[in-house]
Amino acid sequence: MSEDDKKSVLLEIKDLKIEGYSDENWIEIVHGIDLTLHRGEVMGLIGESGAGKSTIGLAAMGFTRDGCRISNGTVLFDGMDLTTATRSERRALRGSRIAYVAQSAAASFNPAHKLIDQHTESSLLHKVSSKADSQEDAIELYRRLRLPNPEEIGFRYPHQVSGGQLQRAMTAMAMSCRPDLIIFDEPTTALDVTTQIEVLAAIRDIVDQFNTAALYITHDLAVVAQMADRIKVLLKGDEVEEADTRKMLADPEEDYTKSLWAVRSFKRDQKSEPAAGETPLISVKNVSASYGPVKVLDGVSFDIYRGRTVAVVGESGSGKSTTARCITGLLPPTQGEILYDGKPMPPNYKNRSKDQLRQCQMIYQMADTALNPKKRIGEIIGRPLQFYSGLRGADLKKRVDQLLDQIEMEPSLYYHRLPSELSGGQKQRVGIARSLAADPAFIICDEVTSALDQLVAEGILRLLDRLQKELNLAYMFITHDLATVRSIADVVVVMKEGKVVEMGPKEAMFQPPHHEYTDLLLSSVPEMDPDWLSNLLDQRGLDNIGEAAHQKKT
C-alpha cells in the first residue's frame, strides 16, 4: 500500500447528532460530533460514562441501539453515507468491512455455538471465502494472536475458554473478513491487568500487520496512550479536544482534559508503622475456607491496625472478597480464626454479639444494588442507628444529618430522596454514611471505586481518607486497581489462588525486588507513557507477560 492510500480518508463523520428515547421524549445525547479517520489509523475515543463513546462507535457502523436514533449529520464510510444507506447495504458492510469488538467477550460470544463457527459466520455470510478456507484462516489468526492450541481452541464453546483468550478470539473474529475498520469498544475493561496487557499487545500487533484502521473506545487513559495515534476527548456528547497522542499527553489544552490527566495525582503518605506491641484491631490467623468441596482460601494471615489501611490486591478469583466474607462471618472459615482486638470472634455472624457486628462494616462495589431502591436516604442511613444505637425521633434525625454532612451531602436536599435520584458517586457516599452510622472501628471496602468514573472515584478516595483521619478508622481495601493502592494504602497484601504471596508496607512493595507474581502484577499496570507497552515488550518479551507468564511457571 502506497503512502497516499494510507493517508486517504476512510471514515468521515460530520455534525453527528444522536437522540435517545426516555420518558416519552427524544433527548439529544450526542451533540454534533465531527470525526475523520484515515486508513490504517487508530483513533482513541475517551471520556467518562455518559460521554457517548460507545454510541458514536456504533454509529460509525450505521447502527444504533434500541431506543436511539441518528437525528442529524452524515457518516461517510469510504464514500457511502451510512445514515441514508438501505438496511441491506449497511448489513453488507458490517462484519465484512467494518467489524466490532465488544467489551465483554464472555457475553458477546453466543454460548450455544463453537468459537470457530461464530468466527466463520461473517465470511460465509458475506461470501468472502469457503468454510474450509475460513476455518484455516481462523486457526492462522489464533496463532498470530498467540492463543494456546490454535488448532484446537476454536472447536471449544465460549464457556470452556478463559476471559482473556475469549477477548483475543473476538479480535480474531473481527479480523475474519480483513475489514478496513474495527471498532474496539472497551475491549480490556473487564479483564485483569495481567491479562489486559496481553490482549493489548495482541490487538496492536494485528492492527499493525493488516494496516486496519480502528476506533479505540476506552475510559482508561493509560490504555489509550498505548493504542492510539490520535486521541479525541469527549464529555457528555460533546467533543472537548482532539490531538496526536503524544501532544495530547504532554500538553492538553482544555481544563477538562487536564483534570482527567490529573486524576491519578492523589496520593497520601504511608503512615508510620504501628508501635511495637500494639494489638492489631483485626487479625486474620491462618484462615482457610471453601465453597462446598472447592477450597478457595488456604492459610491466609494478616493484621490490620487502628487508623491504617490494608490494601488486598490480586486478580479475580484470588480470594480477596472471600477473605472479607470470612472476617464478617458470612462464610465461617474451615480452619483458623479471626481476632478482634486480640480476642477471637465467633466464626459465624449469627453467633456474634451486636457490638461485635457493629465494629465491622462493609461498603460494596455496586452502590446501585447495595441500597434498597424503595427506601429514602434518611431511612437507609437511619436504620443502623436504630438497630445498633436505639436512636429515635429527633435524635435519630440529628445524627443522620450529621452523617450526611460528613459525606458532604446537604441534609435538607437529600434526606427525602430515593437512591434512584442520586448519581453513582452520591450513592457510594450514602453507602459510606450507612457504614459509618454503626460507629465501626473497621470498614471493609470491596472494590468501592471500580464502578465509578475516575474523577468521581478520586472524590470517594479523598472522602475515605478524611474520615479515616477524623475517626481513626481501619480499612481493608479490596481492589485490583494498583493506582488506588498507591494512593491510599499503608500495607499491601498480594493474593493469588487463595494464598497470600507477598505482603509489606506500601513503600517497600512498590520498590523492587518482589515476589515474581507481584512483579508481574505491578509491571502490567499501564502507564501514561505512550512507549510503555513497547518498552515493556522489548524488555520482557512476549512470553513473560499475561497468561503466558502464568503458564510458564506452572
Partner 1 sequence: MGGVLPLIGKRLLLGLVTLLVVSIIIFGAVELLPGDIAQQILGQSATEETVAALREELGLNRPSYVRYFEWLGGAVQGDFGVSLANERSVAEQLGPRFANTLFLAGLAALISVPLAIGLGVLAALYRNSVFDRVANALSLVAISSPEFFLGYILIVFFAVQNQMFPAISNVTPNMEMGERIYRTMLPAITMALVVTAYMMRMTRAAIINLLASPYIEMARLKGVPNGKVITRHALPNALAPIINVVALNLAYLITGVVLVEVVFVYPGVGQLLVDSVTKRDFPVVQACCLIFAATFILFNLIADVGAILSNPRLRHPK
Q: Of 94 and 146, which CB lies nearer to partner 1 in the complex structure?
A: 94
Whole-angstrom distance, CA of residue 538 vs CA of residue 535:
5
Q: Of 159 and 553, which CB lies nearer to partner 1 in the complex structure?
A: 159
Q: How far is the CB of 190 from partner 1 (least distance, A)?
A: 11
Q: How far is the CB of 110 from partner 1 (least distance, A)?
A: 4
Q: How far is the CB of 102 from partner 1 (least distance, A)?
A: 6
Residues in Cβ contact with 226 at an 8 Å cutoff, skipping those fewer than 6 apart: 200, 204, 526, 530, 532, 533
- Cα end-to-end span (Å), the chain: 44
Whole-angstrom distance, CA of residue 519 vs CA of residue 343:
35
Structure-block grid coordinates of residue 244: 496526536
SS3 14: strand
Dihedral sign from CA coordinates of 244, 245, 249, 254:
positive
Residue 169 backbone dihedrals phi, psi, to 5 degrees: -65, -35
Partners of 17 in beta bridges: 31, 72
- Prior bond of 179 cis (ω within 30°): no
Q: How far is the CB of 326 from partner 1 (least distance, A)?
A: 27
Q: Of 119 and 230, which CB lies nearer to partner 1 in the complex structure?
A: 119
Q: Of 102 and 500, which CB lies nearer to partner 1 in the complex structure?
A: 102
The letter for the amino acid at 486 is R
Q: How far is the CB of 219 from partner 1 (least distance, A)?
A: 18
Q: Of 96 and 194, which CB lies nearer to partner 1 in the complex structure?
A: 96
- Are 139 and 151 within 8 A, CB to CB? yes
Q: Quickly list H helices, 304-410.
A: 320-328, 354-359, 367-370, 377-384, 393-406
Q: How far is the CB of 107 from partner 1 (least distance, A)?
A: 4
Whole-angstrom distance, CA of residue 106 vs CA of residue 158:
7
Whole-angstrom distance, CA of residue 322 vs CA of residue 300:
11
Q: Residue 468, by phi and psi: left (phi above 0), alpha (psi -120 to 50) or beta?
A: alpha
Residues in Cβ contact with 75 at an 8 Å cutoff, skipping those fewer than 6 apart: 11, 12, 13, 16, 59, 60, 62, 81, 82, 83
- Are 474 and 303 within 8 A, CB to CB? no
Q: Of 125 and 537, which CB lies nearer to partner 1 in the complex structure?
A: 125
Q: Of 91 and 271, which CB lies nearer to partner 1 in the complex structure?
A: 91
Q: How far is the CB of 121 from partner 1 (least distance, A)?
A: 6
Q: How far is the CB of 187 from partner 1 (least distance, A)?
A: 13
Q: Of 170 and 482, which CB lies nearer to partner 1 in the complex structure?
A: 170
Q: Of 157 and 388, which CB lies nearer to partner 1 in the complex structure?
A: 157
Q: Where are the beta strands (DSSP E) in 172-328?
A: 181-185, 213-218, 230-235, 238-244, 282-291, 294-304, 309-313
Structure-block grid coordinates of residue 148: 494456546
Q: How far is the CB of 119 from partner 1 (least distance, A)?
A: 10
Whole-angstrom distance, CA of residue 529 vs CA of residue 180:
28
Q: How far is the CB of 184 from partner 1 (least distance, A)?
A: 12
Q: Of 112 and 275, which CB lies nearer to partner 1 in the complex structure?
A: 112
Q: How far is the CB of 291 from partner 1 (least distance, A)?
A: 17
Quick one: which of 225, 167, 169 has its CA closest to 195?
167
Q: Of 58 and 235, which CB lies nearer to partner 1 in the complex structure?
A: 58
For partner 1, the binding residues (CB under 8 A) are: 58, 61, 63, 65-66, 91-96, 99-100, 102, 104, 107-113, 121-122, 125-126, 156-157, 159-160
Q: How far is the CB of 485 from partner 1 (least distance, A)?
A: 31
Q: Of 160 and 402, which CB lies nearer to partner 1 in the complex structure?
A: 160
Query: What strands, in cross-sheet order, belong to the sheet with 335-340?
Result: 294-304, 282-291, 335-340, 343-344
